[in-house]
């Protein structure tokens, strides 16, 4: 069992918090409303009946289990030929963040996936891993585009494809990550954590994990809410640039991952980013005389560069705030 940091002086919002669970098989307009409400209140929701085929998840989970079970030397062969793609252990980013974690970070395009795959797959079928990743990312991308359209619909935007177009573009910056958290007792060593506190820089992230819990979210500084794992579901968290695009209506979510003391956790994270040259700015619908634009415009390339030059925990958006 994973225990969160004791929540002292919790606000009403936290005391009453229950993860919004959204059933994607329900009526579309209802789903759109629920997504919008969850993103406005928490920047977080759980999706059931998400449509990613079970066999697709199982195939990739088997591949991940096989890979992370290999010797350190074998895994290191899949290490980043070109930062940040490939296998990593303990080090997160380039600025000294570390965690009790191993991972495979992939750029979602067939060439990049197959490049890493040759070091990851078993000798018998070198393309086994890439085919498992490609099937999963194809299904999760469909889900991401659907979520993006429903977000825009729920927000009442005139152009409901404005977000999904940026994710669907041929040159969109999509990343996929398999995180493996070995058993580790966080209670015995509170300074060591799986993946430290951060928000994701992209529009939003779709996370799916095995049956071991470890994700914690923060709706208030210093208060961590543990999220019970559900391997049949996906979790969605809002990222920084969706907060900018909605002029603060959707909240970018701070989260972290804590290892389980006795079981290993494996999660798949799909990060939806736009093309590097996409201009990120508040959509006109969200700017009113009462609520002028909160952030100055920037390109995704600029923001990504800023995010990647800072520590994990840092608030990158403060550099773009308009006073
Ligand atoms: C968080 C979301 C994704 O996992 C990621 C991470 C990236 C990395 O692991 O290299 C970053 C982190 C993430 C944000 C700040 C920078 C960059 C580590 C880090 C210290 C792949 C991403 O896009 O941003």
Site to probe by mutation for ligand 1, drawn from 83, 273, 312, 319 as the one with most ligand atoms within 8 Å of Cβ, is 312
Site to probe by mutation for ligand 1, drawn from 82, 98, 201, 301 as the one with most ligand atoms within 8 Å of Cβ, is 201
- What tens digit of pLDDT does each residue of 127-163 get? 889 999 999 999 999 999 999 999 999 999 999 999 9
Angle at 287 between CA 279 and CA 169, to 5 degrees: 30
> Which residue carries 């809002």 as its tokens?
238
Here the ipTM equals 0.99
Q: How far is the CA of 205 from the centre of ligand 1 (A)?
A: 12
Say which CATH architecture domain 21-319 belongs to.
Answer: Sandwich (2.60)
Q: How far is the CA of 33 from the centre of ligand 1 (A)?
A: 30
pLDDT of residue 192: 85
- What tens digit of pLDDT does each residue of 163-220 get? 999 999 999 999 999 999 999 987 888 778 999 999 999 999 999 999 999 999 999 9
Other beta carbons within 10 angstroms of residue 200's beta carbon come to 24
pLDDT of residue 25: 98
Contacts 24+ apart (CB under 8 A), 27-34: 28/150, 28/153, 29/153, 31/150, 32/150, 32/151, 32/153, 32/154, 33/154, 34/154
pTM (2 decimals)? 0.95
List all residues whose CB is within 6 A of at least one atom of ligand 1.
Answer: 84, 92-93, 95, 97, 105, 175, 177, 198, 200-201, 269, 271, 307-308, 311-312
- What tens digit of pLDDT does each residue of 31-90 get? 999 999 999 999 999 999 999 999 999 999 999 999 999 999 989 888 766 778 899 999
Q: CB-based burial of residue 158 (10 Å sphere; 0-12 exposed, 13-18 middle, 19+ buried)?
A: exposed
pLDDT of residue 245: 98
Angle at 46 between CA 45 and CA 47, to 5 degrees: 120
- What tens digit of pLDDT does each residue of 251-276 get? 999 999 999 999 999 999 999 999 99
Name the active-site residue from 177, 208, 265, 316: 265
Other beta carbons within 10 angstroms of residue 29's beta carbon come to 11
Question: In this model, does residue 7 exceed pLDDT 70?
Answer: no
| Catalytic residue list contains 311 | no
């Amino acid at each position: 069992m994973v225990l969160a940091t004791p929540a002292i002086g919790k606000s009403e919002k936290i005391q009453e918090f229950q993860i919004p669970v959204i059933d994607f098989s329900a009526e579309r307009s209802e789903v759109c409303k629920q997504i919008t409400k969850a993103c406005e209140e928490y920047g977080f929701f759980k999706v059931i009946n998400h449509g990613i085929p079970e066999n697709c998840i199982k195939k990739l989970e088997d591949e991940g289990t096989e890979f992370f079970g290999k010797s350190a030397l074998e895994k290191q062969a899949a290490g980043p030929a070109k930062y940040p793609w490939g296998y990593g252990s303990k080090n997160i980013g380039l600025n000294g963040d570390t965690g009790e974690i191993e991972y495979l970070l992939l750029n979602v395009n067939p060439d990049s996936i197959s490049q890493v795959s040759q070091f990851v797959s078993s000798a018998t079928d070198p393309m086994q891993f890439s085919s498992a990743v490609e099937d999963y990312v194809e299904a999760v991308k469909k889900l991401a585009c659907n979520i993006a359209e429903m977000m825009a619909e729920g927000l009442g935007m005139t152009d409901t494809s404005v977000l999904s177009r940026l994710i669907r573009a041929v040159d969109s910056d999509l990343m996929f990550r398999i995180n493996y958290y070995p058993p580790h007792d966080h209670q015995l060593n509170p300074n060591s954590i799986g993946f430290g506190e951060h928000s994701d820089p992209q529009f939003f992230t779709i996370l799916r994990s095995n049956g071991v819990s470890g994700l914690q979210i923060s709706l208030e500084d210093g208060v961590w809410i543990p999220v019970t794992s559900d391997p049949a579901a996906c979790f969605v968290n809002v990222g920084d640039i969706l907060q900018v695009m909605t002029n603060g209506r959707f909240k970018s979510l701070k989260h972290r991952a804590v290892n389980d003391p006795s079981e290993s956790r494996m999660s798949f994270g799909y990060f939806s980013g736009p093309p590097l040259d996409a201009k990120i700015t508040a959509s006109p619908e969200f700017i009113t005389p009462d609520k002028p634009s909160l952030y100055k415009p920037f390109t995704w390339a600029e923001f990504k560069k800023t995010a990647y030059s800072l520590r994990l925990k840092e608030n990158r958006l403060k550099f773009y705030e308009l006073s």
